[in-house]
Amino acid sequence: MRPLTIVRTAIIQVAWTRKKKIPVTNTDKASSSSTPSSSRTVIRRFHVLLKKQGQLKNASSANAEALGEIDREIDELGGLAAYQRMSSIGQGNDRGGGSEKVLIQWLIDMGLRKREVKGKLRLLEVGALKPDNYRACMSWIDTTPMDLRSRHPSIVEQDFLLMDEDENRGKWDIISLSLVVNFVPNPRDRGRMLCLAHSMLTQDGLLFLALPLPCVENSRYLTFDNLQSLMNALGLTEVQRKWKKGGKMAYWLYRKSESDHKPLDEYRKKTVCRQGDRNNFAILLP
């Protein structure tokens, strides 16, 4: 091990044993996995580094040295590949399967399994760790899995934020953003992600959103009500919501609809809506 690596590893271990605050974007997904502490550690640290990296990139005077340090540490942790590996362990164990179970059940409840006349539903699964999450629904859902980093030849490697909006406008019946919005470090990019999803949905299309519960339950800037009014302003009406007190996850299903025509300015800046010991998760419109 290089001396610098030893020093940095030691610093990380000290920081972790001091029980640093857990970042809100952490879903603690690997806590019941076969390698609980290593999975937790990588996911947590990765979110912290990603956030710092985003902040530095957005700073007016970019600090190349600090950015380099962060990039190096991300590499040493195993990069996005390690993060995805840990996340997929958690996806199986801690949630009793992935979020797709929740979405599939909602679609079945809405009677969408039987809409043969209109053909299969076109689903864009953003942030897909596996190529076949919707395999059981092949007869009625045509899935396009995609991710920033593809782990399988069937997963399209693509940044959702860089997709061609004109080519995709009104194209998708369903878009899934499960634990993806919270992965994006910049609150304005999170808002842009929702705007883009809205534009890419068919008329009456459905947006599936999953976030770690603390993002809405314990944020200084976002509550369930705020999120709902932001989504309504964008033209997304809630049709389903699922979470439980003391749980880790929150799930929503929205239908594309007319915007409520409220001015969007109030969603373009952070507004404190709760005081106290809160996290800083926010979604801002671009």
Nearest distance from residue 269's CB to ligand SAM, in Å? 23
Cβ closest to ligand SAM, residue 98 vs residue 235: 98
Closest to ligand SAM by CB, 91 vs 279, is 91
CB of 166 to ligand SAM, least distance (A): 18
CB-wise, 129 or 213, nearer to ligand SAM? Answer: 129
- Best CA proximity match to 24, nearest among 56, 50, 53: 50
Is residue 180 within the footprint of ligand SAM (CB under 6 A)? yes
Q: Which is nearer to ligand SAM, 109 or 159 (CB)?
A: 159
Count of other CB atoms within 10 angstroms of residue 286? 16
Give CA–CA dist 255/238, Å, rounded: 6
Q: Is residue 178 a contact point for ligand SAM (CB under 6 A)?
A: yes
15: which 2 tokens? 């920081």
Q: Are 113 and 164 in contact (CB under 8 A)?
A: no
Q: Provide the strand spans (E) within the chain.
A: 121-126, 141-147, 156-157, 172-178, 201-212, 236-243, 249-256
In whole angstroms, give the CA distance from residue 247 to residue 60: 38
* Residue in 87, 232, 240, 279 binding ligand SAM, rule: CB under 6 A: 87
Given the complex with ligand SAM, which of 106 and 232 has the nearer CB atom? 106
Residue 22 in the binding site for ligand SAM (CB under 6 A): no
Contact 281, 188 (CB under 8 A): no
Q: Is 129 in the site for ligand SAM (CB under 6 A)?
A: yes
Structure tokens at 275: 């005081």
- Number of residue whose CB is nearest ligand SAM: 127
Tell which positions 200-229 bind ligand SAM, by CB under 6 A: 210
Q: Does 187 bind ligand SAM (CB under 6 A)?
A: no
Q: Which of 33, 39, 84, 143 binds ligand SAM (CB under 6 A)?
A: 84
Mark the segment that binds ligand SAM (CB under 6 A) among 68-76, 142-150, 230-238, 265-273: 142-150
Q: How far is the CB of 7 from ligand SAM (least distance, A)?
A: 29
Contact between 108 and 45 under an 8 Å Cβ cutoff? The reply is no
Q: Is 147 in the site for ligand SAM (CB under 6 A)?
A: yes
Please work out the total of residues on this chain that contact ligand SAM, with binding judged by CB under 6 A.
22
How far is the first Cα of the chain from the last one, in angstroms, to the nearest whole number? 44
Other C-beta atoms closer than 10 Å to the C-beta of 139 total 9
Query: Would you call 21 exposed, middle or buried from its count of C-beta atoms within 10 A (0-12, 13-18, 19+)?
Result: exposed
Binding site for ligand SAM (CB under 6 A): 80, 84, 87, 91, 98-99, 126-127, 129, 146-149, 159-161, 178-180, 183-184, 210
